[in-house]
Structure 1
Amino acid sequence: MSEQMTRDRALEIVRDSYTTGQPQSTAVELTGYSRSWVAAEYRRLKARGVSPVAGQLELFDPAPSSSG
């Protein structure tokens, strides 16, 4: 297994995984960190009130584009 990534980078990946509704197992695979560490970070994000679908909202923004 390759060298473990930095904690800061792993936190970014966990946050992105959480806010796009990805399962914890995806974050574990992407970061190489333990399941318990990822689970704890998911709990922290939930406790802070971060939406598990916040990243998906941008994909479905109903605001019309201002081209023209």
Structure 2
Amino acid sequence: MTVRTEISGARVIVCTRQFDVDTVAALSTACERAAASGQRLVLDVADVTFGDYAFLDHLTVSPWQW
């Protein structure tokens, strides 16, 4: 997972490989930090090869969503 800032000012979190109950905490932390910055947040999940219920739950009901 990498985090970058686009020229437009959006914070982009690029997710790769697998996310499950044991690894989703890092994604959660990155999203919380990006949301706190006040920048638009983009999650790029094109290269995620596996996501369990914890990953899907994070994408759909996370408290950082507006």
Q: TM-score range by the shorter chain?
A: 0.3 to 0.5
TM-score, normalised via structure 2 length: 0.38
Which structure exhibits the higher relative contact order, with contacts defined as CA atoms closer than 8 Å and separated by 6 or more residues?
2
Larger Rg: 1
More strand by share: 2
TM-score, normalised via structure 1 length: 0.38
